[in-house]
Amino acid sequence: MWADADREYTFRGKVFKQAFQLMPRMTPFYTQWESDTNPDDFFTTFAAKHWSVPIICVIVYVSFCYFGPKMMEGRKAFDLRNTLICWNWLLCIFSTIGE
């Protein structure tokens, strides 16, 4: 299989064991990407180069929280009852399958 049971994985400089190392019976259910990924790569490559992404997301979120209610003040409320019923049923089915 792809996963190497003896390989040491590190996250921010600390050694840890992945789930397939702790539960070898689960190894057939892992994809190659899951067993080969190194979390340190995310922090050293993507997060270090794109530090502005979370800042932009926070600014957009706070702006939406402030301006959203002001924009909707004079408008009719959406009728989302049927949409939320469908969403809850789909979430319930997905959660049941995932257990």
Express each pLDDT in 5-29 by its tens digit: 566 777 777 787 777 778 888 778 8
**What is the predicted pLDDT for the residue at 13?**
74
Q: What CA–CA distance (Å, rounded) separates 13 from 4?
A: 19
Query: Does 57 lie in the same domain as 46?
Result: no
Q: What is the domain range of residue 86?
A: 51-99
61 and 44 within one domain: no
Q: Let me know whether 65 and 75 are in one domain.
A: yes
* Backbone torsion region of residue 80, taken as left when φ is above 0, otherwise alpha when ψ lies between -120 and 50, otherwise beta: alpha
Residue 1 pLDDT level (bands cut at 50, 70, 90):
very low
Structure pTM? 0.48
